[in-house]
Amino acid sequence: MKSLIRMLREFKMTPVKWLIANTIAWLIGFVWILPFIGIFMASIRPFEELVEGWWNFASFHPTLEKYYEALFHPYYPLWRGLINSLIITVPSTIIPVLLAAMASYAFARFSFPIKNYLFLTMLFIMAVPQQMMVIPLFFMMNSIGLLDTYLGLILIHSSWGIPWITFFLRNYFSMIPKEYEEAALVDGATYWQIFTRIVFPVSLPGIISAAVLQFAWVWNDFFFALVFLLSPEKYVATRILPSLKGEYHVDWGLLSAGSILVMLIPVLLYFALNKYYIRGFTGWALKG
């Protein structure tokens, strides 16, 4: 891999081409990152300073006041939204990742008659839009008393996550060499022991990738949260943010501070687990 890239550079690069490639990449990269810098500036500076553009530093008085206002908003306190998001997201990540890991182990290692058909049936669900699920789920959750509860939404997110995580991890598991497992099987280990002692630890990087993506997906989800959590004190962070806009007067400082707070956890997670996040995106094609 490295050698191909080095070769591309050695063989093809003239100073002009290098300059063109760099200029375009930096330019677009700059445009892509600009809104983040802008919203951050808008969140720490008073509105009067922004009228001439946030890049104007003629007067500069940073303050965290708007963060305080967003967190302790009288009608839509964001701190509660953030806590609710955590209450929903943590179990909605752990449950499907564990169950899907077991299922994908079975798909990667067991052979049984309808395996491929079953796998396909499951795969199809990944193409089904969320919109298909919400009406019957709304009715079902209502009749079993789980509508407007944390548990209800956790169950929905977990079920929704299992098919894609199974698909993702099956690709990953089928790349692990079988030798250890076969040796363990000869020594009389059960599949359960093999799974918990060998497969799970060995494939931890893949499992972390899936967990990072699932966490980000649940935290960032808006539609399920909009439909299934109805009482304002249960609103998750992504649900509260649009409400901070207000009806008539828009407080941009408040809104930008809110945006920063809602994106904080997924962005930190993204920086901390960057490698796994990227593998989560590229891992789909590995066995293509």
Q: Which of residues 216-255 bind other proteins (CB under 8 A)?
A: 216, 219-223, 226-227, 238-239, 241-242, 245, 250, 252, 255
Shortest spacing between CB 134 and other proteins, in angstroms = 7
How far is it, in rounded angstroms, from Cα 33 to Cα 210?
26
9 forms part of the interface with other proteins (CB under 8 A): yes
By CB under 8 A, name the one of 113, 131, 177, 248 that touches other proteins: 131
270 forms part of the interface with other proteins (CB under 8 A): yes
* Cβ(163)–Cβ(125) below 8 Å: yes
**Which residue's entry shows tokens 């497992």?**
181
**Among 235, 238, 208, CA closest to 220:** 238
How far is it, in rounded angstroms, from Cα 21 to Cα 11?
15
**Span near other proteins by CB under 8 A; candidates 57-65, 66-74, 117-125, 199-207:** 117-125
Residue 224 gets which letter from DSSP?
H
Shortest spacing between CB 117 and other proteins, in angstroms = 10
Shortest spacing between CB 72 and other proteins, in angstroms = 19
Q: How much of the chain is in helix, strand and coil states, percent to nearest 5? A: 75, 0, 25
13: left (phi over 0), alpha (psi -120 to 50) or beta: beta
By CB under 8 A, name the one of 15, 74, 113, 136 that touches other proteins: 136
Q: Which residues ranging from 39 to 58 are in contact with other proteins (CB under 8 A)?
A: 39, 42, 51-54
How far is it, in rounded angstroms, from Cα 82 to Cα 105?
34
18 forms part of the interface with other proteins (CB under 8 A): yes
Shortest spacing between CB 190 and other proteins, in angstroms = 7
Which amino acid appears at position 206 of this protein?
A: G
By CB under 8 A, name the one of 135, 175, 183, 272 that touches other proteins: 135
How far is it, in rounded angstroms, from Cα 271 to Cα 268?
5
188: left (phi over 0), alpha (psi -120 to 50) or beta: left
102 forms part of the interface with other proteins (CB under 8 A): yes
* Cβ(244)–Cβ(258) below 8 Å: yes
By CB under 8 A, name the one of 17, 59, 60, 64 that touches other proteins: 17
Q: List the structure tokens of 196.
A: 């918990």
256 forms part of the interface with other proteins (CB under 8 A): yes
Q: Which residues ranging from 165 to 184 are in contact with other proteins (CB under 8 A)?
A: 166
**Span near other proteins by CB under 8 A; candidates 66-74, 76-84, 129-137, 201-209:** 129-137
Q: Which residues ranging from 186 to 215 are in contact with other proteins (CB under 8 A)?
A: 190-192, 195
> Which x/- pattern over 22-41 shows residues binding other proteins (rule: CB under 8 A)?
x-xx--xx--xx-xx-xx--
